[in-house]
Structure 1
């Protein structure tokens, strides 16, 4: 049997949600390039992306396991189809959607890049692992160097997709704990540095899709306590630069993306920004990549949800009559399908809002408003990273359940979605790390400023939504109130950090519940009689009750402290 394809995405929901986005009108005022992008233009971009994804990326994804990149004689080789699809993708200008026009980009807002990434990653998430660090590297170089030789050499090529980029942080024994990084940088005296060390888990660390690759790398220097940030090309003037691919990891999924162990053997590197401040500078790149994980997870979740719905409409089973019924007639299947679709739509609404807030944090001219947008964007970042990553896996799992035995076979794409998505709650900061970030940095260190902005915005919006759907708005308001009271309790635990940390992941999930409740209430209040609007309202109302039950559980878990962990020593 030929493997079933992921259904092409219906862009109607994306267009409705984009049109209804709060803050979009302000973005148009602030972004000349976007001001010229009418709703018709946005629809055309999404439809072109959907056509490319369903045609080129779907075919590439089908050979993900059988034609994965291979390491031969120190070089990573991809398939001919992979190279052809990348060429067409780059020539289509897809990398540059949200990059500034002065750098060769199209000047569209981040939310458009996020929406397009969802469409692409729906059909081949592994393919999307390459352009994200390239876009992020453009912003990194633009932010931290005024060196014309570096800017003129790398920025145009990265924007055009002719050269690639990676983010090189992790090492053996230094994953989330960057303080243990051992890679060393020694100044040469000519403005360059010699980089020596080993890096691990580097996506697309080596490949033949682009002419060159620049590694954005953290290393230690003798002159500073903190880490420093370097650009390390794989080749300089056509000659190898001491950058070696040691091996490609053998992974559960995302086989089309070569995850490499890298060696740097006295490689020439160029310092970006200030010596000793590399980790904080790298957050330009890390922030973009965490946002991208949310969009990637959303794309994979929508693929799984729509595949399950398509299958369920055709699968006949059960019923008392002579003819079996489609399984969509059974209540439990209906529950699973509605839950998948509702969570996808609410997540889409939230991730779009987060992208708009990130753009307004950069472009808003009013200082007070810009601070609020920045605080809200930072509050939402660990939420959408975790939400997208976990939703992809749980939706793929539910899709397999709907398909039954068929879903467990390679005849259907949902088993691959399950495998590919499992890493999303791990890379770019595990769920546990995101929870600790929300607790320590966003609540304790920042005094809950981002939470304050979120509560103000959510409560104001919910009050407006109540005129359209009082029941949904009231439930969303209760979830937001649970988040506020739980945060107040956790804020009093600064002198008992272990108690707070024991509930950090539950607190993160409560914050997700509240943010999704805010989004679901917005969906329930969408106006319009067309079927797509009716569908969104129905899904928003369906999700609210589930979220309220989840939130009550997460609130209780977040504040119960660490006493229940006192018996952990019995395990070791």
Structure 2
């Protein structure tokens, strides 16, 4: 299943659309010179094309398996993981204090997308380790950092996130796993967790779990949760995995896709763990990892979209079927095939630019400590997650359609993209939750972060009026419509009226941001495909805005007027 990492596309976006120079001008990221950025992107591309991409099909055909209590991964996955670890890529954005490179998250986002496009089932393993590294950097004690961070950064150990239980999915406050103080600074963790990605494997010497659990007498709900670090193997005084902990894998889930990624049911029977952060501060600590993972999951969707697009384009170039108006011999000459491929490419660009913009905001907040950058990053995170994964699902589905009948034949590989990417709209907070987060928590500032982004869209439209007058006017009008829609949501006293339209509102915001980034790209390269792709987006995707905003402002009434218990009456 051939895949070519879109290195040149990242270079263009970082230079002309997202402005990495703003990040590298800061003291914190000044070592990310243009030469360093270029070299890193090229090396990531070589890794993904030559080593990781050939594993994509292996993971699907030869799933991870539980054998005698140990998870055996798909053929080649251990070697692929070692290549990622030995390249230092798990620590690309980690602190140099513990062996990381300390480079911008914006570059790490490019890394994660290209790894996802090459083989999403394997990429999930380093993604979770990266999130755990960030959580420990922010919340762990110095003692925990000293033992665990060097091993996680080097890739000798891998990390997981344990939230979900059979009765506690999106309702994290229903977690029942218990933690009992051992009296020596450690705690005994007892309970069961489900859907634990890469919860066990044979690619590294230890697996380190971050586990949400409840201390005795803790209050109910999320306020009573604490976070614990629980290794599979307990390290000795020298940090060497020595004794087994009370952690076992009950079973592996049989999934729609991502067969090479072991999704485990984990059992903790008095397992030894240590508190991360303050007692009953588990959600704050875990959200550090979750926010990192939400951007990462959005990036996964984009990576799969890129791979599915490349796959569909290659098929279309070779497939001959019927006469075409242009005289082209392949199905690329058919208008509808071009509509599908053009729409796929335009949405990938928009989603990628949004994800990089979110990462850049996080970098700027870390470099400057600015509350404004922090608010921007927080606002963009649910958009990047939901729109990135929705794009992955839509593009993979369209890729099957481009293949026609061959799209549903497993040997072509087109269907695997659909199966693998589908879960990305569900894990790390469903896309419905992302919408609710956007119109709830992220608009709790009175819309300040939203209106700041809308003003940037207006500024982009003004700057493009001479070169692209029609598109600049369309973008200006879109910004005004989005502003009015945001004001309507803010005016609702009943939060449920916001929630009812939260998903279309999030998509409306993404549509406008995508148009802005397309216009910036066209300004930087006014001739050729950049401008042509921008015009296609403005002609086909941006007009969705009116319908999306109408849905966003319809309120909860029409939804609750339905009686689902009286179907058929």
What TM-score, normalized to structure 2?
Answer: 0.94
What is the aligned partner in structure 1 of residue 239 from structure 2? Answer: none
Deviation sequence 1:260-296 (CA, Å, 0-9, x none): 0111100111011111111012111001100101111
The C-alpha deviation readout for 1:114-163, integer Å capped at 9, x for no partner, is: 11211111110111100111111111111112332x11211100000000
Task: Check conservation: 1:475, 1:545, Cα contact below 8 A.
Answer: no
Q: How does 1:284-303 map to 2 (within 5 A)?
A: 284-303=288-307
Deviations 1:478-532, CA, capped at 9 Å, x for gaps: 22222211111111212x2332222121212212212212222222222365xxx
Take 2:560 and 2:90, find their aligned partners in 1: how far apart are those partners? 50
Q: 1:115 aligns to what?
A: 110
Residue 509 of structure 1: aligned partner: 507
Residue of structure 1 equivalent to 2:254: 250
C-alpha displacement at 1:352, in angstroms?
A: 1.1
**Residue 434 (1) aligns with residue 434 (2):** yes
**Distance in 2 (alpha carbons) for counterparts of 1:497 and 1:35:** 43
C-alpha distance in structure 1 between counterparts of 2:324 and 2:498, whole Å: 54
Residue of structure 1 equivalent to 2:186: 192
Which residue is equivalent to 2:161? 167
**Matching residue of 2:148:** 154
Task: Name 2:345's counterpart in structure 1.
Answer: 341
Aligned equivalent of 1:450: 449
Contact kept? 2:17, 2:517, Cα under 8 Å: no
Q: What corresponds to 1:217 in structure 2?
A: 211
Q: Distance in 1 between matches of 2:187 and 2:14?
A: 46
3-state DSSP class of the match of 2:474? helix
**Which consecutive aligned stretches of 4+ in structure 1 deviate over 6 angstroms post-superposition?**
none
Cα distance in structure 2, aligned partners of 1:324 and 1:353: 38
CA-CA distance at 1:80 after TM superposition: 4.7
Contact 1:309 1:337 in 2 (8 A): yes
In structure 2, what is the Cα distance between the partners aligned to 1:424 and 1:136?
Answer: 16
In structure 2, relative to structure 1, the CA distance for the partners of 1:458 and 1:196 (3 Å cut) is same
Alpha-carbon distance change, 550 to 163 in structure 1, aligned in 2, over 3 angstroms: same
Q: 1:305-320 counterparts in 2 under 5 A?
A: 305-319=309-323
In structure 2, the partner of 1:259 is 263
SS across alignment from 1:511 = helix
Tell me the residue number matched to 1:11.
7
Once the two structures are superposed, what CA deviation does each residue of 1:433-469 show, in whole Å capped at 9, x if it has no partner? 11111111112x2322321221222222222233331
Counterpart of 1:537? Answer: 531
Summarize the Cα distance change of 1:133–1:571 in structure 2 as closer, same or farther, 3 Å threshold: same
User: Paired residue for 1:525?
Assistant: 523
Structure 2: gaps of 5 or more residues: 237-241
Q: Does 1:141 align with 2:139?
A: no
In structure 1, the partner of 2:232 is 234
Equivalent runs, 1:544-559 vs 2, <5 Å:
544-559=538-553
How much has 1:231 moved relative to structure 2? Answer: 0.5
Q: Quote the residue 1:459 is aligned against.
A: 458
Structure 1's unaligned 5+ residue stretches are: none
SS state of the match for residue 65, structure 1? helix
Rounded Cα–Cα distance in structure 1 between residues aligned with 2:6 and 2:190: 49
Q: 1:461 to 1:268 in 2, by over 3 A?
A: same
What CA distance in whole angstroms lies between the structure 2 residues aligned with 1:107 and 1:133? Answer: 18
Conserved? CA contact 2:316–2:402, under 8 Å: yes
Contact 1:317–1:324 (CA<8 Å) still a contact in 2?
no
* Deviates further, 480-489 or 289-298: 480-489
- Distance in 2, matches of 1:265 and 1:291, equals 33
Match of 1:94 among 55, 79, 89: 89
- In the other structure, the counterpart of 2:557 is 563
TM-aligned CA deviation for residue 93 of structure 1: 1.0
How many residues align? The count is 555
Retained in 2: the 8 A contact 1:372–1:453? Answer: no
**Post-superposition CA distance 1:49-79 (Å, at most 9, x none):** 2222122112211211222211112111124
- CA distance in 2: counterparts of 1:213 and 1:105, whole angstroms: 19
User: Contact 2:249 / 2:265 at 8 angstroms: preserved in 1?
Assistant: yes
1:193 Cα deviation after fit? 0.8
Q: 1:27 aligns with which of 23, 28, 32?
A: 23
Q: Once the 2 structures are TM-superposed, how far is the Cα of residue 421 of structure 1 from its aligned partner?
A: 0.5
Q: Residue 217 of structure 1: SS of its match in structure 2?
A: strand
- Counterparts of 1:570 and 1:270, CA distance in 2: 47
